[in-house]
């Protein structure tokens, strides 16, 4: 087992003092690994990421119990300005570009945590990863396509030299080929930039292909954790997330009795 | 013999009628009765004429503030034009009284209705605009009305002003602070009663729905433009009514007082009293009027102390400063206003000694 | 014809003044969506600081000017820190009324210290700056205004387009959550926008003071004139503020010249209502880019 970068110990998250979303989530992330978080909608994956990155506060949420240790520093309920300066950058769900800024200006916002440092080299780096962005660098982000925007927001996060990158559904609403491209780059970033990545995904197959380790969440709890290899071999995961019957043959959708059987994990 | 009810230790309502009750207990009803008795049968006969003058000013301001609270606190539409609406009411009453010679009992309500129409015209942009854009539109309304009041010489006599005859009913002339006290406070009680009840009706609920989320309200089948206009109408009716009373009380009026400062003062009353709270509007009106009087008094005292006359003269702007400071402090410290403070005091008495 | 041209030139000059007065207002709205009713008082504060430094402290013009700008920068910063920050996320009416309250406080403060008299600055602009085209004359202050407003437009353009801080400010205005996720110090951006706005306001206050004399009532009423200007130009466009200012200025002088002087002051508001009814986001406001 390698060095542990981030550790969540039994955290609970409550929104507006009443709505409990996370009910004791523990997970640990090894350095330079890709860890993927799987789970249905509303399982609390995004909330987990926000608890780490400090973005709960603007939404009136709070970590009420447990601790979040990053490099040995306690970071729960810290301001996002502080957390991002520790090297944790979240890429928000649904690609949130700055619509009225050009691609290049968008990328420059990524340097906010390193204000005043040179950034030209980083721009080159991002354009190397995402050559598609080069020709659109002067156009407004609001008018770019979904794939370009996804590349843009990942690139924008890269500008901050993240140690820990939190990716929230990078494949949302993208064509299969684009998804493959994005995941290839994610893998590459992980290897070349030595960035640890937590990946929240609905596309479990792609996620498990690139990840080293995986957690399955449901109803604000971790239901299962294993290496990516073990998870993709697990018959339940196969059935519910990869759409295969235990035998490995794609199953007709109507045969999946998903909800009732999923409860078995409880 | 009806049973006297006490405060239940929880919400035990069994039907909507109970939920809509104004008074939860008979104790509240009795208290209000005692208060009104004191107000009408004792207050005017014991207090000094100066105090009576202040009370009357408060009463007039309270009527306008209640109206504005219907618009801001309940319907969520901000109007910066209420000072001008107040002026429209005053001028409408004055013109009717001098040109047409109608009695005050007609002139005052009709002035209210005319103002309501003017208010609805100013409220038309609310069909398209929301939030700060609407605020700016009503600001424009304020300036345009002010301009019309000054420039429409043939009707308003411009900067000369109009002098009103004393209101007369049969052969009985209403003049002097005491007589006006009854006119103003009977109106205030009636207007409060009307406002409290309209808020319990379908209209009130529609206003609140529009305030909380106008799109959702529209989705529920509330014609929001119609209701927004209605709210503007009711609210400016109150302002116009108060303006008309004021015109009679002051005897002579000019265009000067009906400026943006007056609009701001009314909004301050609503905020300091407590938004979306009708007694709150009365508290707010009381507070601001007393503050104004106190500051005027202070300035007067400082001016009369011979040695520091020059300093006293310089103290006049203190009023402006303190007024701003009070608004800022209320917003920062108790944005729910005096009504909330009053509620806390009351409930801490009620729950004493186990106040948690 | 000559009358027409002179009116036109006067209108453009007055309009430029409105435009630069509105720039600070737009800055605040652009970054934090606060409608600042105390803008006129900020103009006045700047003008009076400068007045005190020049006439009472007898400082050289340049030193006084720079000190005023620095003072107002700090003032704007403090205003945001102590009055507006607690209200982030509060209802619109509270924010509006807070600035109204601040306006009353500032006005009272100015009246307490300087009184309501009309002051004038000593002459310091060289007469040579006045321009003459045929029979049309542009006074030195107006050409100075023209130069200042162009300089500021260029400076702001560069600041927002090129400098990192400017880009952060635009990013906050654009998508606050995404800006937070990238570590942009949003509260610092708000504070900075108030500080810069107060700085610009003080500068326009000084220019207005040179032209019309320094009087608190006049200056604070300019603060209200800003509303038609920015609505016309679009609440979030600094260039639009200048153009809106020029349109309003020209409109005013023409109404004053051809129709009636009393209509002059109310015409901007009549135009304002019409524009709001037809184009609620103004002539140059950002067209909403909506993706579903």
pLDDT digits (tens, 9 = 90+) for C179-224: 888 888 888 888 888 898 898 888 888 888 887 788 888 888 888 8
Contact B140 C93 (CB under 8 A): no
Residue of chain C whose alpha carbon sits nearest to that of B150: C262
The predicted model gives B332-336 an average pLDDT of 83
Residue of chain B whose alpha carbon sits nearest to that of C108: B321
Q: Beta strands of B151-262 (E only): which ranges? A: 162-163, 168-169, 172-173, 252-253
Whether C253 maps to a domain, the answer reads no
Distance CA C185, CA C37 (A): 26
Say if residues C103 and C117 touch (Cβ distance below 8 Å).
Answer: no
Q: Which residues of C touch A105 (CB under 8 A)?
A: 167, 170-171
Q: Please give the share of chain C, as a percent, with pLDDT higher than 90.
A: 2
Higher-pLDDT residue of C251 and B132 is C251
Q: Which residues of B touch C89 (CB under 8 A)?
A: none
Give me the pLDDT at residue B101, please. 78
Please, which residues 73-102 of chain C have a Cβ atom closer than 8 Å to chain B? 83, 86-87, 90, 92-94, 96-98, 100-102
Token representation of residue C26 = 């737009």
With CA atoms as reference, report the closest residue to A103 among A163, A55, A161, A143.
Answer: A143
Say if residues B108 and B93 touch (Cβ distance below 8 Å).
Answer: yes
Tell me what the pLDDT averaged over chain C comes to: 82
How large is the angle between the packed helices C92-114 and C39-51, nearest 10 degrees?
20
Name all chains with 3 or more CB-CB pairs below 8 Å to chain C.
A, B
Give me the pLDDT at residue A264, please. 47
Q: Which residues of B touch C94 (CB under 8 A)?
A: 271, 331, 335
Of B137, B146, B315, the CB nearest to C273: B137
Distance CA B206, CA B67 (A): 16
- Tell me the H-state helices in B224-277: 224-250, 260-273
Count structural domains, chain C.
1
Domains of chain A as residue ranges with CATH:
4-94+161-233 (3.40.50.300)
Shortest Cα–Cα distance, A105 to chain C (Å): 7
Between CA B94 and CA B186, with CA B283 as vertex, the angle to 5 degrees is 45
Give me the pLDDT at residue A259, please. 46
Whether C252 maps to a domain, the answer reads no
Contact B133 C103 (CB under 8 A): no
Distance CA B297, CA B286 (A): 16
Give me the pLDDT at residue B1, please. 45
Q: Which residues of A touch C234 (CB under 8 A)?
A: none
Whether C284 maps to a domain, the answer reads no
Tell me what the pLDDT averaged over chain B comes to: 82
Query: In angstroms, how far is CA A35 from the centroid of its own chain?
Result: 9
The predicted model gives B224-241 an average pLDDT of 92
Whether C42 maps to a domain, the answer reads yes
The answer, for A161 touching chain C at a CB cutoff of 8 Å, is no
Contact B332 C266 (CB under 8 A): no
Residue C171 has pLDDT above 80, yes or no: yes
Whether C280 maps to a domain, the answer reads no
Give me the pLDDT at residue B316, please. 65
The predicted model gives B243-256 an average pLDDT of 86
Q: Which residues of B touch C227 (CB under 8 A)?
A: 136, 139-140
With CA atoms as reference, report the closest residue to A210 among A18, A23, A33.
Answer: A33
Domains of chain B as residue ranges with CATH:
48-351 (1.10.3470)
Residue range B205-219, pLDDT digits in tens? 899 888 888 788 888
Select from C182, C184, C281 the residue whose CB has the most chain A CBs within 10 Å, as the one to mutate to test that interface: C182
Beta bridge partners of B261: none
pLDDT-flagged residues of chain A (< 70): 1, 242-266
Residue range C235-245, pLDDT digits in tens? 777 778 888 88
The answer, for A194 touching chain C at a CB cutoff of 8 Å, is no
What does B300-325 look like in DSSP terms, one character per residue? HHHHHSGGGHHHHHHTTTHHHHHHHH
Q: Which domain holds residue C158?
A: 2-221
Please, which residues 162-181 of chain C have a Cβ atom closer than 8 Å to chain A? 164-165, 167-168, 170-171, 174-181
Say if residues A98 and A156 touch (Cβ distance below 8 Å).
Answer: no
The answer, for C160 touching chain B at a CB cutoff of 8 Å, is no
Residue range C15-48, pLDDT digits in tens? 888 888 888 888 888 777 788 888 889 889 988 9
Say if residues C289 and A140 touch (Cβ distance below 8 Å).
Answer: yes
Q: Is A16 buried (19+), middle (13-18) or exposed (0-12) by CB count in 10 A?
A: exposed
Q: Whole-model pTM? A: 0.79
CA atoms within 13 A on the CB side of A144: 29
Of C176, C184, C291, the CB nearest to A109: C184
With CA atoms as reference, report the closest residue to C98 among B324, A259, B54, B182.
Answer: B324
Higher-pLDDT residue of B110 and A240 is B110
With CA atoms as reference, report the closest residue to B88 among B34, B46, B160, B148.
Answer: B148
Q: Which residues of B touch C228 (CB under 8 A)?
A: 140
Contact A112 C175 (CB under 8 A): no
Whether C70 maps to a domain, the answer reads yes
Q: How confident is the model at residue B62 (pLDDT cuts 50, 70, 90)?
A: very high
Beta bridge partners of A167: A91, A199
Of B132, B140, B151, the CB nearest to C273: B140
Tell me what ipTM this predicted complex has.
Answer: 0.82
Residue of chain C whose alpha carbon sits nearest to that of A158: C182
Contact B267 C97 (CB under 8 A): yes
Token representation of residue C43 = 């103009």
Contact B320 C100 (CB under 8 A): no
Residue range B34-61, pLDDT digits in tens? 888 887 777 777 778 888 888 889 999 9
Chains B and C touch each other (3 or more Cβ pairs < 8 A): yes
Positive or negative: CA dihedral C229, C231, C235, C241: negative
Beta bridge partners of A144: none
Residue of chain C whose alpha carbon sits nearest to that of A146: C291
Shortest Cα–Cα distance, A168 to chain C (Å): 12
Token representation of residue C94 = 């509270």
Give me the pLDDT at residue A265, please. 46
Shortest Cα–Cα distance, C42 to chain A (Å): 30
Distance CA C132, CA C142 (A): 12
Whether C256 maps to a domain, the answer reads no
Chains B and A touch each other (3 or more Cβ pairs < 8 A): no
Token representation of residue C41 = 């008082």
Whether C292 maps to a domain, the answer reads no
Please, which residues 116-145 of chain A have a Cβ atom closer than 8 Å to chain C? 116, 140, 142-143
Distance CA B292, CA B42 (A): 25
């Amino acid at each position: 087992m390698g060095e542990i970068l981030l550790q969540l110990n039994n955290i609970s998250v409550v929104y507006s003092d009443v709505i409990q979303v996370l009910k004791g989530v523990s997970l640990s992330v090894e350095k330079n690994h890709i860890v993927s978080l799987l789970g249905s909608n509303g399982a609390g994956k995004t909330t987990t990421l926000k608890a780490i990155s400090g973005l709960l506060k603007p939404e009136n949420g709070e970590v009420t119990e447990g601790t979040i240790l990053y490099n040995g520093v306690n970071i729960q309920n810290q301001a996002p300005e502080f957390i991002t300066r520790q090297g944790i950058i979240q890429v928000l769900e649904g690609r949130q570009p700055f619509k009225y800024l050009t691609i290049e200006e968008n990328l420059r916002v990524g340097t906010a945590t390193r204000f005043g440092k040179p950034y030209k080299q980083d721009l080159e780096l991002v354009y190397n990863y995402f050559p598609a962005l080069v020709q659109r660098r002067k156009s407004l982000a609001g008018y770019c396509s979904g794939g370009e925007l996804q590349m843009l927001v990942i690139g924008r996060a890269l500008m901050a030299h993240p140690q820990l990158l939190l990716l929230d559904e990078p494949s949302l609403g993208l064509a299969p080929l684009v998804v493959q491209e994005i995941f290839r780059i994610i893998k590459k970033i992980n290897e070349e930039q030595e960035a640890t990545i937590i990946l929240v995904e609905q596309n479990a197959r792609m996620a498990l292909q690139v990840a080293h380790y995986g957690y399955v969440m449901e109803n604000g709890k971790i239901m299962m954790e294993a290496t990516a290899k073990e998870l993709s071999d697990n018959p339940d995961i196969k059935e519910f997330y990869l759409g295969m019957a235990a035998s490995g043959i794609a199953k007709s959708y109507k045969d999946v009795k998903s909800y009732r059987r999923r409860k078995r994990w409880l | 013999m009806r049973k006297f009810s006490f405060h239940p230790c929880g919400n035990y309502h069994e039907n909507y009628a109970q939920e809509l009750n104004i008074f939860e207990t008979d104790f509240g009803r009795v208290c209000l009765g005692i208060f009104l008795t004191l107000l009408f049968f004792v207050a005017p006969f014991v207090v000094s004429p100066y105090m009576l003058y202040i009370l009357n000013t408060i009463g007039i301001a309270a009527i306008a503030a209640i109206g504005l609270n219907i618009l801001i606190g309940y319907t969520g539409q901000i109007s910066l034009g209420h000072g001008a609406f107040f002026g429209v009411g005053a001028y409408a009453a004055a013109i009717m009284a001098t040109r047409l010679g109608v009695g005050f009992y007609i002139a005052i309500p009709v002035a209210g209705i005319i103002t309501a129409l003017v208010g609805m015209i100013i409220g038309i942009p609310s069909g398209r605009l929301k939030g700060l854009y609407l605020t700016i539109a009503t600001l424009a309304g304020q300036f345009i009305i002010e301009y019309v009041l000054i420039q429409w010489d043939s009707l308003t006599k411009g900067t000369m002003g109009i002098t009103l005859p004393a209101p007369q009913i049969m052969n009985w002339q209403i003049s002097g602070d005491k007589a006006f006290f009854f006119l103003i406070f009977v109106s205030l009680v009636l207007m409060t009663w009307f406002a409290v009840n309209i808020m319990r009706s379908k209209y009130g609920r529609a206003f609140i729905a529009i305030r909380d989320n106008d799109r959702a309200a529209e989705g529920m089948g509330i014609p929001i433009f119609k209701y927004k206009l209605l709210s503007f109408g009711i609210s400016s009716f109150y302002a116009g009514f108060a303006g008309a009373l004021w015109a009679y009380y002051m005897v002579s009026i000019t265009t000067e007082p009906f400026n943006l400062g007056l609009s701001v003062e009314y909004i301050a009353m609503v905020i300091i009293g407590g938004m979306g709270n009708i007694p709150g509007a009365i508290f707010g009106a009381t507070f601001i009027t007393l503050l104004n009087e106190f500051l005027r008094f202070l300035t007067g005292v400082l001016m009369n102390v011979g040695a520091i006359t020059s300093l006293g003269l310089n103290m006049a702007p203190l009023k402006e400063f303190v007024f701003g400071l009070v608004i800022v402090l209320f917003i920062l410290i108790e944005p729910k206003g005096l009504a909330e403070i009053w509620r806390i005091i009351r409930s801490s008495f009620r729950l004493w000694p186990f106040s948690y | 014809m000559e009358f027409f041209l002179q009116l036109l030139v006067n209108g453009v000059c007055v309009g430029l003044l409105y435009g630069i007065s509105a720039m600070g207002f737009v800055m605040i709205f652009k970054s934090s969506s606060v409608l600042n009713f105390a803008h006129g008082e900020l103009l006045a504060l700047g003008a009076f600081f400068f007045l005190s430094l020049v006439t009472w402290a007898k400082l050289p013009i340049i030193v006084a000017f720079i000190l005023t700008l620095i003072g107002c920068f700090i003032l704007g910063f403090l205003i945001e820190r102590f009055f507006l920050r607690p209200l982030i996320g509060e209802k619109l009416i509270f924010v509006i009324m807070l600035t109204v309250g601040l306006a009353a406080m500032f006005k009272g403060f100015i009246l307490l210290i300087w009184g309501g008299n009309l002051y004038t600055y000593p002459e310091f602009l060289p007469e040579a700056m006045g321009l003459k085209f045929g029979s049309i004359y542009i006074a030195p202050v107006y050409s100075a205004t023209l130069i200042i407003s162009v300089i500021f437009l260029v400076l702001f353009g560069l600041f927002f387009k090129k400098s990192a801080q400017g880009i952060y400010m635009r990013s906050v205005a654009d998508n606050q959550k995404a800006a937070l996720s990238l570590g942009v110090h949003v509260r610092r951006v708000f504070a900075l926008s108030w500080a810069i706005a107060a700085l610009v306001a003080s500068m326009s206050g000084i220019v207005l003071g040179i032209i019309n004399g320094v009087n608190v009532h006049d200056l604070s009423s300019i603060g209200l004139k800003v509303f038609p200007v920015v609505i016309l130009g679009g609440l979030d466009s600094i260039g639009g503020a200048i153009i809106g200012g020029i349109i309003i200025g020209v409109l005013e002088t023409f109404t004053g010249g051809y129709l009636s002087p009393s209509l002059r002051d109310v015409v901007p508001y009549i135009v304002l209502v019409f524009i709001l009814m037809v184009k609620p986001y103004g002539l140059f406001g950002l067209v909403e880019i909506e993706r579903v």
